[in-house]
Structure 1
Amino acid sequence: MQKVLILLITFFFSFTYSFAQVKQTDNEEQIWLGYFNQTRFSKRWGMWTDVALRTKENFVDQYSQAFIRPGLTYYLTDDVKLTLGYTYAWHFPADNHKNVTMPEHRPWQQIQWHTKYPKVKLMQWFRLEERFRRKIKNDDELADGYNFNWRMRYNILAQFPLSKNRFAPKTFSLVTANEVFVNFGKKIVYNYFDQNRLFAGFHYHVNKHDNLQFGYMNVFQQQAAGNKYRNIHTVRLFYFHNLDLSKKN
């Protein structure tokens, strides 16, 4: 079963990566930094918080986006979680708003689950987002009101231990992940497919609960016009901080 699962994941990653290579148009280089915290307060309740910052191009030229995402989590079991959250996003000056930052309000709902095998750990989630992006009047000014659309995300991440002490503190594991984004709503005409994020890298297990993740991610994104695409080569550095206060309580 484990071998079949790994083969399916590998095929899925290979397919999405090949698709991205065929469709690429503009190439960019970015750095993505992120801090992710999941804190469990009791048997059923916890909190999700993450913050992120992304550069724009050439790895270190300016900033493209920043996010803060708090959420309330309900634990169905130790391995299955429901989260209701909110994101505030800053879209820093870009092609269609060169001198002004566009804000975005983004409520979201998510189911996340973990599956553990002797030689691999899997994490998956489905996330539904409601995106309210401020309208743009011109390069220098925001307009009144917001553009709205829905977006669905599916993420799968696999960890493979690289030492005999599997997933123990001070060890490394190999990480592969893929996340697919799909848009829908009245405003979506040409880009129902939004983007695909393919990641390969490592986890350094700081302790039993925390991980430092680093590696390469390819982001392939279709723009709203439908005939323009972005292929982003990304250095990704994330810290995952997990706290369980339920045992103390």
Structure 2
Amino acid sequence: MEETGMWFGAYLKVRFSERFGYYGEHHWRVRNDIDDVWSFYGRPRQLYNRAGLNIFFNDYFEAVIGPTLVLNFTPEPGNEEFDKISYEPRIWHQWLLKMPTMYNMKIYHQFRFEHRWKRDNSVGSEHDYTDRFRYKIFAYIPLNSKEIKEKTLFFSPSAEIFMHSGESIVANPMEDFRTYNGFGYVLNNNITFFVGHMYTLGQKSSGYEYKASHILRFNVFIGLDTRKIKDLLPRINLGY
């Protein structure tokens, strides 16, 4: 193990119409102190912002496309050989396939593609273009009811593999493998809370060395449907 940390995330999904909506992810990520790998919370790691146009094809398939901006903080605070912040722009698109509910369990297949202009925090380093390909399978399993609804406590297991390519990627095509498992609580139709543990295993540039990490994640999911606003507004008689 080389790293521990915490990720705090806010996920926003807004439905504009039958076909279109907005999707956003915003993460504040911190990692262990340099001298204590088990501290989890010691120094900033990333500020992560992803946004996109959500396209709904039917009840079982949707897609997203949009920009991402990642702010990477220095790996060694106070070391002048590193910039305090480096900027990493991306373009991303995603396919989400929902399977019919089986035994009260919802299963999802997520395919995500990212086109990244990365640079490390070394002073004077240049951006390096890479492509990343991700596949994730995850499930929602209700624990105190027969379906996911208000006041439902649920368990969600997941596994995801990351592959990447580019001129700088030679012996390490597998960037990461993650398992992320946790518990969620549906407060109401608009807000869901989730807390979990993520284990990651990534291939280093040598190809035969690996790095691992343990991350604690705390998320809130916010879902809004503007199509229903008209039902919430009082009627106004403009005839007078």
TM more than 0.5 = yes
Q: Structure 1: how far apart are the matches of 2:46 and 2:124?
A: 17
Q: TM-score, normalised by structure 2?
A: 0.84
Q: Structure 1: how far apart are the matches of 2:200 and 2:19?
A: 35
The match for 1:107 is 91
Counterpart among 39, 47, 56 of residue 31 in structure 2 = 56
Report percent identity of matched pairs: 27
Counterpart among 65, 72, 84 of residue 84 in structure 1 = 65
User: CA 1:175–1:33 in structure 2 vs 1: closer, same or farther (change >3 Å)?
Assistant: same
Q: Which amino acid letter does the alignment assign opposite residue 127 of structure 1?
A: R
Bigger shift: residues 172-181 or 111-120: 111-120
The match for 1:164 is 145
How many pairs does the alignment contain? 220
User: CA 1:39–1:79 in structure 2 vs 1: closer, same or farther (change >3 Å)?
Assistant: farther
Q: Structure 1: how far apart are the matches of 2:120 and 2:144?
A: 51
Q: Structure 1: how far apart are the matches of 2:145 and 2:62?
A: 30
Q: Structure 2: how far apart are the matches of 1:78 and 1:248?
A: 22
The answer to whether the 8 A contact 1:160-1:175 is kept is yes
Q: CA deviation at 1:219?
A: 1.1
Does 1:123 pair with 2:104?
Answer: no
Q: Deviations over 1:59-95 (max 9, x none)?
A: 1110111111110111111331111111100111126
Q: TM-score, normalised by structure 1?
A: 0.81
The match for 2:155 is 174
Q: Deviations over 1:120-144 (max 9, x none)?
A: 01222111110101366x4xx234x
Q: CA deviation at 1:248?
A: 4.6
- What SS does the corresponding residue of 2:59 show, helix, strand or coil? coil
User: CA RMSD for the aligned pairs?
Assistant: 2.0
Residues 11-22 of structure 1 aligned to structure 2 (within 5 Å):
none
Larger Rg, first or second structure (1 or 2): 2
Unaligned runs of 5+ in 2: 33-38, 231-240
The answer to whether the 8 A contact 1:102-1:142 is kept is no
Q: Which amino acid letter does the alignment assign opposite residue 105 of structure 2?
A: V
Counterpart among 189, 192, 195 of residue 170 in structure 2 = 189
Q: Which amino acid letter does the alignment assign opposite residue 175 of structure 1?
A: S
The match for 1:35 is 10
The answer to whether the 8 A contact 2:189-2:223 is kept is no
Q: Structure 2: how far apart are the matches of 1:135 and 1:229?
A: 19
The match for 2:124 is 142
Q: Structure 2: how far apart are the matches of 1:154 and 1:114?
A: 14
Q: Structure 2: how far apart are the matches of 1:91 and 1:226?
A: 24
Q: CA deviation at 1:159?
A: 1.1
- What SS does the corresponding residue of 1:142 show, helix, strand or coil? coil
